[in-house]
Amino acid sequence: MKALNEQQLAQISAAIQQVEQQTDAELVTVLAKQADNYYYIPTLWAALLALLVPVLLRFTPLWLDGIDLLKAQWLTFACAALVFRIPFIKMRLVPKSVQQWRASSLARRQFLDNNLHHTKGETGVLVFVSEAEHYVEILADRGIAQQVDDKQWQQIIDAFTAQVKAGNTQQGFISCIEQCGALLKQYAPATAEKNELPNHLVLL
């Protein structure tokens, strides 16, 4: 996952600013590298593998017992725990349901932390991305949610998710912001000039 440079961040900020000139909605974008460190997952897998050592040894000519078996289990646990913490491997050991749950929880915390629930007219909209999980979510406050159907957001989310999986996070943000802008302009057109929340991409 490549970090976005200053030029890319500026392009995202400009896209948000352009959208907010055409709508009463307040758009906030958040990018997280990952929603959790998941350190407990490699530990659990390493422990399970260590517990299986006696069973695995039964299928080999080698047989250990007593202190030698215990040493073999500890060595297996230590080596596996280190290998399983390699990001590429670790994320494949984390169940998809756990990834989705952790990313979704972080998205909701960011909605509150960025005060999207305190905007005038309840028009806050969060575009949240967690790259490691390939997770994208759009959360809208009541003033927008009453106007825009979830299916319309989902089409944008699906397209953005494909961009994140392909490693095109910055372009995905631009496209997502523009598509959100088209919806927000239609359902919540600008009635007054305002800018309650920052326009820059929030990086976690």
Q: Cα–Cα–Cα angle for 115, 97, 102, nearest 5°?
A: 30
How far apart, in whole angstroms, are the C-alpha atoms of residue 43 and residue 55?
20
Of the candidates 166, 170, 169, the one whose C-alpha atom is nearest the C-alpha of residue 12 is 170
pLDDT at 65: 67
Where in the chain are the domains?
A: 6-36+96-203, 40-93
Using H for helix, E for strand and C for coil, what is the string for the chain?
CCCCCHHHHHHHHHHHHHHHCCECCEEEEEEECCCCCCCHHHHHHHHHHHHCHHHHHCCCCCCCCHHHHHHHHHHHHHHHHHHHCCHHHHHHHCCHHHHHHHHHHHHHHHHHHCCCCCCCCCCEEEEEEECCCCEEEEEECHHHHCCCCHHHHHHHHHHHHHHHHCCCHHHHHHHHHHHHHHHHHHHCECCCCCCCCCCCCEEC
CATH number of 6-36+96-203: 3.10.310.50
pLDDT at 1: 58
Span 100-105, average pLDDT: 92
pTM of the full structure = 0.82
117-169 pLDDT, tens digit per residue, is 888 878 888 999 998 889 999 998 888 888 888 888 899 999 999 988 888 88
pLDDT at 4: 74
Of the candidates 33, 34, 29, the one whose C-alpha atom is nearest the C-alpha of residue 201 is 29
The β-bridge partners of 48 are: none
Span 175-195, average pLDDT: 84
Can you read off the two tokens belonging to residue 50? 């260590």
34-91 pLDDT, tens digit per residue, is 888 888 888 899 889 888 877 776 666 666 566 777 787 788 888 888 888 888 888 8
Contact assessment for residue 27 and residue 185, using Cβ atoms and an 8 Å cutoff: no
How far apart, in whole angstroms, are the C-alpha atoms of residue 17 and residue 98?
34
pLDDT at 62: 64
pLDDT at 120: 82
pLDDT at 102: 92
pLDDT at 63: 63
pLDDT at 106: 93
Span 16-39, average pLDDT: 87
